[in-house]
Amino acid sequence: MFSRRWLYVIPLRLRSILDRSRVEEELDEEMRFHIEQRIEHEIAAGKTPEEARCAAWRAMDGLDQRKEQCRDMRHMNPIDNLFRDIRYGARTLGRNPGFTVAALLALGLGIGANTAIFSVFNGVLLRPLPYSDPDDLVMIFEQRALQGRSLDRSFASVADFLDWKSQSHSFQTLDAIGIVNGRFTLSGEGDAEQVVGSSVTSTFFETLGVRPLLGRTFIAGEDQPGLPQRAVISEHLWHRRYASSRDIVGKQILLNGRPCTIVGVMPSRFEFRQPDADLWSILTLNPPTRRPPFSLFGIARLKPGVTVRQAAAEMQVVARDVERAHPNDYNHLSFPVVPLREVIVKDVRPLLWVFLGAVLLVLLIAVSNVANLMLARATARQREIAIRLSIGASKGRLVRQFMTECLMLSLAGGALGILLAFAGVYALRRLGPRDWPRLNEIGIDIRVLGFTLLVCLVSSFFFGLVPALALANTSVGASLKEGGRGGESRRLGRARGALVIAQVMLSVLLLIGAGLLIRSFSLLWQVHAGFQAPPERLLTMIVAPTGQRYQDRRALAAYWELLLDRVRAVPGVESASLSITIPPDRVSLSDGYEIEGKPWPRGTEQPVVPVPIVSRDYFSTLGIPLLRGRWFDQTDTADSHVTVISDAMARRHFSGENPIGKRLRETMGASAGPYMQIVGVVGDVKYQGLSRETEPLYYQLSVGSPFPRSWLLIRTRGDAELMTSAIRSQIRQLDPGVPVDRIGTMAQALSDSVALPRFRSLIMTAFATAALLLAAVGIYGVLAYSVARRKHELGVRMALGATSRDVIMLVVGQGSRLALVGIGLGVVGALGLTRVLKQMLFGVAASDAVTFTSAALVLGAVATTASLVPALRAARVVLSIALRHE
């Protein structure tokens, strides 16, 4: 319980700090008053003024001692002691600039790395989502079983969403977000362009609890069929395209060729799962005629008092009712209800924990390094400490002074670490994958600074505790003897060796973790995407002809044919083709299929695979090998109903037989298209990412189903990037209103597809490199100090016949023994800890022998190199100087 005594103590201590000179003046006046009173008393007793003055001073028993007693009563001495410790610590650190700089660099690196990574952890996981009452927001998906296994959370249909709305009672508001129109063609003023955005139902912004910067958001009911189209744009688009015009509200634009009215502008801080989204349009809920297609997911706000678990249980009841009503469309249907935060951070949460664990290992290594430096200084100061203890200094006073020095060092290292953290955060935001969630919210805030202060305090305690206790337990007699002959206490020597072993062990953990990720990334990068054309000679872009002119399918098909002819005529172009899906991970359409005469077993659902709809020259443009039959050719028309399948599909369904002439059809649920005859088998191509297993798929010819938005692929004779302006010029000449988007080479697409593995490998490599350097410095520091303290011993050895080689082997052997023990412990620990990386690895096991062996050899080589420098220095010891060493 808080004592009332502190009501008086706290103001006195504050006054002692804030008005010290005035307090000292009052103390002097008080001392003079007591002396004068004593003098008057002695004179009244019959003494002369001189005798009375001497008696008064004797009665005070020493003026300084009396002042100290008063300071104790006024609670001033602890403050005095603190300032003395700070001044003494500053002088001590200033007299040892080499030690101070080395310790600051180690602490700055460790604390800075922790601050930078915690800023990411804080921005992504801890900081509240920028919505009203974000904990009440949930997302709803659809999940079905496929051939005995549960599919990942997937998209629902409009029919599913309408069932959610009519049968659920757990939500205040419930909205749908479409995935089909991830990009819109915006025109009507200025050049047509593609913008990123989403189609949402009318209460979407109300559900999130966000307000517009200008105008309004959608009104409930505006998503009903037959109403005019409306859109909300981002502040970025408002500034860039419309010059921040205040007349933007109510402005008419063309969206995908159709009239649309802008009703509001969202502030730049608003973001929902798409950092670069510039537009949100109304998702019109036309009454569905069948359950498919599956192209949206739900966002909802829970009613007060309703938990996520209760909402999930209710949605499971809805799922069972839907499945019973439509048994041909669903199998083991469920509608998972997931907190919005979990959806946003699910994919990066494990990686963030790995980063945080790795950076804590770096901090531990840095703290061990500084602790070793402090132990070295403690060894050098053993004689000083022993003398101070022998003349009356308390061990508690020495420990307090030592810990104050450590705290000053840690706070200075923390200040340096914050500066490094700002640079680290900037680098992380630049290097992070574009789809990294909440990347723009990463920064240094008050919570991060509080974390940094906590790290400084804890670090100072740990790296100062061992040396402080070692000094406090110093034996005065033994220390004077050991200090007299220039040796090192065995106790302190063992402590320093243990710290080096700990550094090596932790470094091994980081090296192995980084090695596994690097090796995994290397193997992933070597995966062949399935096409043989050089990636740097393939130019890709999205072309989106929209508007009334292209509503007719024949007009759209004619546009594509004319565009291909113009592009093929450009000098330097070898071939050109169209496709709605391109490798390695840009899938636009997936669908089910059924082989004629080979129905799927009852109770199972057809697999859903990518369905590239391509033009005739697609295979030759990409260089996809023909294995059997033929490609699409000029004889194929919209009525031909032909398909080309991949080798994986041929192996799965036609093992031991010729698939040419067989038939299959696309199917989703109860609906199915016409049977298509297989005319060719081509090599497997990666369409769902380089790390995914190659799945069976089939190709359709785009002549029969021209899409209003397609990838244009151009194969060039030289660097494809240099052909960009010429190709864009041809597209503009054909129709200036057709926008071009996502221009790049296939080499860039392949690089983007492995952005996350590359990012985590890069970060872990940086941590491992820092750990390796710190461990090398730690080993070097221990051996260099040991050599300096053992000059006398080494001189005696050389006097007795030891050669330089013997001395080198002695010192290197000492370092090697410490490194071997640390490596062994690190390898054993890594066997357990690397299991957390299992889900992040590709083509390599968490216990990969090559990585473990390589890490051990690298660290062994670094340890040997770090040991060799002090060993060579020891071999150059001048015999006469060594023998004269104290």
- Tell me the per-residue pLDDT of 721-736, one tens digit each, with 9 for 90 and over: 999 999 999 999 998 8
Chain mean pLDDT for the chain: 83
Q: How many domains does the chain have?
A: 5
> Is residue 159 predicted with pLDDT exceeding 80?
yes
8 A C-beta contact, residue 636 and residue 616:
yes
Q: Which of 278-282, 336-340, 494-498, 840-844 has the lowest mean pLDDT?
A: 494-498
Q: Are residues 496 and 480 in the same domain?
A: no
Q: Give the percent of the chain with pLDDT over 70.
A: 84
Q: Which residues contact 689 (CB under 8 A, 6 or more apart)?
A: 584, 585, 753
Q: Are residues 556 and 588 in the same domain?
A: yes
Q: Are residues 518 and 554 in the same domain?
A: no
pLDDT digits (tens, 9 = 90+) for 852-861: 999 999 988 8
Q: Are residues 788 and 864 in the same domain?
A: yes
Q: Are residues 44 and 80 in the same domain?
A: no
* Residue 710: inside a domain: yes
Q: Are residues 442 and 583 in the same domain?
A: no
8 A C-beta contact, residue 838 and residue 491:
no
> Is residue 763 predicted with pLDDT exceeding 50?
yes
Q: Which residue has the higher pLDDT, 477 or 123?
A: 123
Provide the CA 885 distance to its chain's centre, in angstroms.
Answer: 54
> Is residue 387 predicted with pLDDT exceeding 80?
no
Residue at a domain's end among 278, 301, 335: 335
pLDDT of residue 76: 46
Reading phi first (left if > 0) and then psi (alpha if -120 to 50, else beta), residue 629 is in left
The pLDDT of 219-236, averaged and rounded, is 91
- The candidate with the shortest Cα–Cα distance to 368, out of 779, 834, 873, 830, is 779
pLDDT of residue 77: 47
Q: Is 286 exposed, middle or buried (0-12, 13-18, 19+ CB in 10 A)?
A: exposed
Q: What is the torsional sign of CA 20, 23, 28, 34?
A: negative
Q: Token pair of 204, please?
A: 């979407």
Q: Which residue has the higher pLDDT, 877 or 7?
A: 877
Q: Are residues 71 and 185 in the same domain?
A: no
The pTM of the full predicted model, rounded to 2 decimals, is 0.80
* Residue 1: inside a domain: no
pLDDT of residue 5: 46
> Could you report how far apart the first and last alpha carbons of the chain are, in Å?
56
The SS3 assignment for 650 reads helix
State the DSSP code for 331: S
Q: Token pair of 857, please?
A: 């050899």
* Residue 536: inside a domain: no
* Residue 523: inside a domain: yes
Q: Are residues 478 and 493 in the same domain?
A: no
Taking CA atoms, 391 is separated from 328, 386, 476, 478, 599, in Å, by 93, 9, 11, 16, 96
DSSP 71-126: HHHTT-HHHHHHHHHHHHHHHHHHH-HHHHHHHHHHHHHHHHHHHHHHHHHIIIII
pLDDT of residue 238: 95
Q: Are residues 389 and 315 in the same domain?
A: no
Q: Token pair of 240, please?
A: 């860039």
* Residue 726: inside a domain: yes
- The candidate with the shortest Cα–Cα distance to 752, out of 448, 324, 436, 370, is 436
pLDDT of residue 264: 95
* Residue 533: inside a domain: no
pLDDT category at 381 given cuts 50, 70, 90 is low
Domain hosting 819: range is: 489-528+750-886
Q: Token pair of 551, please?
A: 């509503």
Q: Which of 23-27, 391-395, 610-614, 838-842 has the lowest mean pLDDT?
A: 391-395
Q: Are residues 690 and 554 in the same domain?
A: yes
Q: Which residues contact 802 (CB under 8 A, 6 or more apart)?
A: 794
The pLDDT of 254-269, averaged and rounded, is 91
CA atoms of 135 and 130, how far apart (whole Å): 11
The pLDDT of 263-288, averaged and rounded, is 89
